[in-house]
């Protein structure tokens, strides 16, 4: 299965808010954003617009999804969304 995800500022989250992680089935981020928004009296809601896509991509990678090609992998490494793979050491 393939999922196409935008990186960077989340305009969908900016306009639709907490509905975005709900419709994507991203319940971990849904509760995190909801809880932090309550604690910070709504300030975190605006911060989440900048961080949501990155955390969503990281969550997909934890579930086993892989970047589509080398160009996408290089973009994710360059924007520090994923860590650069360590070089294999030989003894």
**Structure confidence by residue, pLDDT tens digits, 9-66:** 999 999 999 999 999 999 999 999 999 999 999 899 999 999 999 999 999 988 988 8
How does residue 89 score in pLDDT terms, banded at 50, 70 and 90?
low
pTM: 0.81
Determine the Cα–Cα distance for residues 24 and 10; give it in Å rounded to an integer: 13
Question: What pLDDT, on a 0 to 100 scale, did the predictor assign at position 34?
Answer: 93
- 10 or 82, higher pLDDT: 10
Residue 78 falls in which region: left (phi positive, over 0), alpha (psi -120 to 50) or beta:
alpha
| Cα angle for residues 31, 48, 17 (degrees, 5° grid) | 70
In a domain, 89, yes or no: no
> What is the tally of structural domains in the chain?
1
> Which residues span the domain enclosing 39?
11-78
Position 91 pLDDT exceeds 60: no
In a domain, 59, yes or no: yes
């Amino acid at each position: 299965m393939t999922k196409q995800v935008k990186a960077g500022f989340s305009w969908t989250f900016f306009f639709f808010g907490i509905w975005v992680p709900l419709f994507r089935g991203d319940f971990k981020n849904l509760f995190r954003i909801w809880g932090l928004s309550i604690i910070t009296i709504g300030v975190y809601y605006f911060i989440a617009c900048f961080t949501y896509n990155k955390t969503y991509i990281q969550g997909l990678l934890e579930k086993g999804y892989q970047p589509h090609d080398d160009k996408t992998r290089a973009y994710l490494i360059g924007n520090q969304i994923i860590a650069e793979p360590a070089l294999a050491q030989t003894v």
